[in-house]
Amino acid sequence: MPNSDRLMTIREMCDTYQVTPRTLRFYEAKELLSPVRDGQKRLFTHRDRARLTLILRGKRFGFSLEEIRQLLELYHVGDQQQTQLSSTLSIARERLADMVHQRDELTLAIEDLSEQIDWVAKTLASTAETKDAAE
């Protein structure tokens, strides 16, 4: 990982975090990142890197950008760590419950589709056997 006090260019950010320049500009436009501007150049601070790490993790967990924004904003309210952690825990538990529900629904759908595939395969095999016997 890069030196924490060093500014990173957009290319370095892309290479380090495996994102595109378009992604970084999008997050900047959504005010999730605020790189330092040096003319046309964007320079990303340690804070931007930490925020991008959280954004990418949030996206991987299925949070919307608005939910990610809310989580990031919790860390700007000062020294209210207990409130921040409680809010984060609550939001994370809700998302985990949603993910478990989605997984359970997907498991049921997979089982149902597998049964349907088996039925169709058996029906086709049976029809082929009947056709072969008739010939």
pLDDT of 54-88, one tens digit each? 999 999 988 889 889 888 887 665 556 677 778 78
Token couple for 100: 């478990």
Question: Residue 38 phi/psi, 5° resolution?
Answer: -125, 85
According to the model, what pLDDT value does residue 17 have? 97
CATH architecture of 1-63: Orthogonal Bundle (1.10)
Strand-by-strand arrangement of the 36-38 sheet: 8-9, 41-44, 36-38
Residue type, 52: L
- Residues 14-35 have pLDDT tens digits of 999 999 999 999 999 999 999 9
pTM comes to 0.67
The SS3 assignment for 43 reads strand
pLDDT given for residue 124 in this prediction: 93
